[in-house]
A and B are shown apart, each in its own frame.
Chain A
């Protein structure tokens, strides 16, 4: 019932096709069709590991009379999700001109709590206060989604105990440390009926009853009894479930992931077609350094052979990062 043959006829020629089955503030569930598994998996890998976000990276502890060790608290602070809205305008500290960090490449947060009452006190992410100049008012603010409005618990204080510290949140990617991962989890699934036999399902008596069908099983044709194995079959439908940790909206993770992978590919095109670019900066450089919208790196014209696809990521000033052009059909991808 979910598939209509009519809905498919424009899908064949167009390249990747997306169907979103759920989209809210926490997750986006979608199906990717007409793509091959390496294409789908690269997107998954990039969304997991290479989307820049912001997380606490340096902690200066002024006083800590709690029972927890300084480094223990510092580690907990690092794992608190911070709002990454506008992180694309934040520089990587290593690319910044400043000495160690500044407001162009970091967000400063302070935490000062003392238990003055007679009962133990909880210190949570809500008590982290961003201070100083920021790129926008939400960048670096701790993500608070629980119904009490406190955010993740950092530590507890007994009466008269005190914690006072200063945190520097920096931009980074999850390849360096998982604290920069924007996604809490990414579900990735294909071939729910295991028709391709990529899985060898362990079972005690009967795999059918012991392995309940996935929610996507009804989206695909069940295998017919006695049907011969199709040796040429390849996976063509991929089911994603992108769940955010709160720092980026779930759809933002997908669009950012696409952007990052395009930047990676475009960087290679640039290197391969540039010839001998003399005087180029050869030193260490962050993945997306110099490729922001305001720096003329020249990607927008260096590859544009395909139809109306003038710029792969939105040089056209459209509201989406993918430009407004839709007349892709020059026949690049099949």
Chain B
């Protein structure tokens, strides 16, 4: 019938800009950013992280209508940087943080698979694994073995380089 196509939730329309800045003249150092085809995923993420920035005095988002895939984000800064710079800064931090999360996840996954192989060595399971790098750039890994597998010996760490 007259329902809009569902791809309109995430596909930019003809000539639409992903993000547009409107300076709010009545408030100093304040801008509204209208993000098209976005939702709470981006809106909440950005607003919450902007609020943590000491240079940002105000940040909030709203989705004017649940059927309209637009996010309005208002940012007011303390004047050291302008709202656009604040937003770009947070965006870059978030890209880096998600990148970090991805690497962390890959690393832990590799370790988990390694630990799961340990079952083949006669260990029931490792309780927990932890991995990192020491100052010399060497990889270390601690495996907590489940108590039963040690015959009641309690928690033991094992170091593997």
Contacts and interface: CB of A to CB of B under 8 A. Distances in A.
- Give the interface size bracket for B toward A: 35 or more
Contacts of A30: 105, 108
A322 B10 contact: no
Given A20-B112, A38-B44, A45-B39, 7 more contacts: A45-B41, A50-B41, A175-B9, A265-B91, A269-B92, A272-B19, A322-B106
A45 B84 CA distance: 25
Contacts of B38: 264
Prevailing SS type, chain B contact patch:
helix
Interface in A292-334: 303, 305-306, 309, 312-313, 320-323, 325-326, 328, 330, 332-334
A272 B18 CA distance: 9
B11 to A, nearest CB: 5
Contact of A271 (B18, B96, B127): B18
Given A254-B105, A269-B88, A50 B10 contact: yes
A226 interface: no
Contact of B108 (A20, A41, A268): A20
B92 A332 contact: yes
B26 interface: no
- Name, among B11, B16, B88, B132, the residue most crowded by chain A CB atoms within 10 Å (CB to CB): B11
Contacts of B6: 175-177
Contacts of B100: 14-16, 328, 333
B109 A16 contact: no
Interface string A48-61: 01100000000000
B94 interface: yes
B102 A259 contact: yes
Interface string B17-52: 111010000000000000100111110110111001
Contact of B10 (A10, A28, A175, A333): A175
Interface in A1-56: 1-2, 4, 7, 10, 14-20, 22-23, 28, 30, 32, 35-39, 41-43, 45-46, 49-50
B138 interface: no
